[in-house]
Amino acid sequence: MTTQEKTQNYVLQTYGRFPLTITRGQACRVWDENGREFLDFCAGIATCSLGHCHPRLTAAIAQQASTLMHCSNLYNIAPQADLAELIVEKIVQQAGKIFFSNSGAEANDGLIKLARRFGQQSGRYEIITFQQSFHGRTIGSMSATAQAKIHEGFDPLLPGFRYLPPNDLKAVKAALTDQSVAFLIEPIQGEGGVNPMSREFLTGLSALAQENDLLLLLDEVQCGFGRTGDLNGYDTIAPGLRPDAISWAKGMGGGFPIGAFWIAEKHAPLLGPGSHGSTYGGNPLACAASKAVIETIISEDLPANARARELQIRERIASWNHPAITEVRGHGLLLGIGLDISKLAIPEDKVPSIHLCSALLEKGLLVPPAGPTTIRLIPPLNVSAEDVDQALAFLKDVLDSHLSP
């Protein structure tokens, strides 16, 4: 049996997979089982921040794996303490405390628990989230996600969420009730189509949160740790924003599974002893990996590379004046190419973005879709100018060859 056949026979079929088996990676490239090379602008969905097999990351993992892989949060863990210090002092740069999880959905579940605790005294529990958001697949984070297709068939959802249109402060003001307890928002929606929030909207939410005693919870799972051209996604959009809590995962581990959330110091006592936990969360190996990733992002100034490559991508695409491209959305290396589907010849039974991503894969470029009419560019943060040139050439070829006659 091929890997593809085995996957179909033995792995639960929850994903629509492209017909590719990746067996090896190096920097911004991966290879399939037949040795064919691909340029990787998917990067494990904005996860392999340093590309594949970065020597600092592989060395940190090897070193920690042969020292102490796992113990338990019943004891102090040096790599966990070091990583928490690094994130608080160098990334958030605001007094607060970190909880380590294993994924983004788990981190967001932690934020939901924080909001519930915060609202206990006043009997409030309603968290406001935004249409097209994506917060994860656990029952909690899925209920926070305002996308019908993610909820389908899973009723009843976790109660206590209200979904509003993003970038519409008036709608938020009108929707606040004495039940409202928090806003949970992605500064740039990733899975929902690469939709950035405006500066006015984020600062407006922050002001509303302060006036009404609500928490401002940021989901930086996809946009955090340098991806947008700053160490925090919200710093790119609304510098100086003071969230009450932040969740992360994806890029913070560079491919090693780890997630986390930070809570501002004044709220940290809400989650005290016995209130939350995870067997694996913050384990020595995961924390050593994440520490190597974050230190490399800082020491190699990868946010600066993300900004430079964004500029390169925007200038090149603008120079095409391409009939099928409506806009480039996003910040840094979290970019969405918006498509005018009416200009493209796409089979009627196909989702346009997925059809084009398949064609790009055939060419030799891996990119994920973001919603039905957007192609996402989320390469490693250390991607070179040459690799960006190559990827854009593939993109232009594929769009040109799909123009309707």
Ligand X SMILES: *Cc1c(COP(=O)(O)O)cnc(C)c1O
Q: Which is nearer to ligand X, 247 or 317 (CB)?
A: 247
**In 66-191, where does DSSP find H-type helix?**
78-86, 104-120, 139-144, 148-151, 169-175
The C-alpha atoms of residue 377 and residue 42 are separated, in whole angstroms, by 7
Rounded to a whole number of angstroms, the minimum distance from the CB of residue 103 to ligand X is 3
103 belongs to the binding site for ligand X (CB under 6 A):
yes
Q: Which is nearer to ligand X, 111 or 392 (CB)?
A: 111
Buried b (16+ CB within 10 A) or exposed e, 124-139: bbbbbbbebbbbbebe
Which position among 136, 254, 255, 338 is part of the footprint of ligand X (CB under 6 A)?
Answer: 136
3-state helix, strand, coil split of the chain in percent (to 5) is 40, 20, 40
Contact indicator for 144, 107 with CB cutoff of 8 Å: no
Rounded to a whole number of angstroms, the minimum distance from the CB of residue 337 to ligand X is 18
Q: Which is nearer to ligand X, 124 or 374 (CB)?
A: 374
How many amino acids of this chain bind ligand X (CB under 6 A)? 16
Q: Spell out the residues 6+ positions from residue 116 whose beta carbon is closer than 8 angstroms to its own.
A: 125, 160, 181
The C-alpha atoms of residue 209 and residue 201 are separated, in whole angstroms, by 12
For residue 33, give both structure tokens: 């089982």
Rounded to a whole number of angstroms, the minimum distance from the CB of residue 113 to ligand X is 15
Residue window 203-222: x/- pattern of binding to ligand X, with contact defined by CB under 6 A: ----------------x-xx
Q: Which is nearer to ligand X, 111 or 302 (CB)?
A: 111
Strand partners, 98: 262
Residue window 164-203: x/- pattern of binding to ligand X, with contact defined by CB under 6 A: ----------------------x---xx------------
Rounded to a whole number of angstroms, the minimum distance from the CB of residue 215 to ligand X is 17
What phi and psi values does residue 227 have, to the nearest 5 degrees? -60, -40
**In 195-343, where does DSSP find H-type helix?**
199-212, 233-237, 284-299, 302-320
Q: Which is nearer to ligand X, 64 or 103 (CB)?
A: 103
Q: Which is nearer to ligand X, 104 or 193 (CB)?
A: 104
Nearest residue to 132 (alpha-carbon basis) of 152, 143, 146: 146
376 belongs to the binding site for ligand X (CB under 6 A):
no
Stretch that binds ligand X, among 35-43, 130-138, 228-236, 389-397 (CB under 6 A): 130-138
Which position among 38, 99, 134, 225 is part of the footprint of ligand X (CB under 6 A)?
Answer: 134
Question: What is the DSSP-derived secondary structure letter of residue 251?
Answer: G
Rounded to a whole number of angstroms, the minimum distance from the CB of residue 179 to ligand X is 24
Contact indicator for 172, 208 with CB cutoff of 8 Å: yes
Other Cβ atoms closer than 10 A to 23: 11
Q: Which is nearer to ligand X, 221 or 246 (CB)?
A: 221
Q: Which residues bind ligand X (CB under 6 A)?
A: 103-105, 108, 134-136, 186, 190-191, 219, 221-222, 249-250, 259
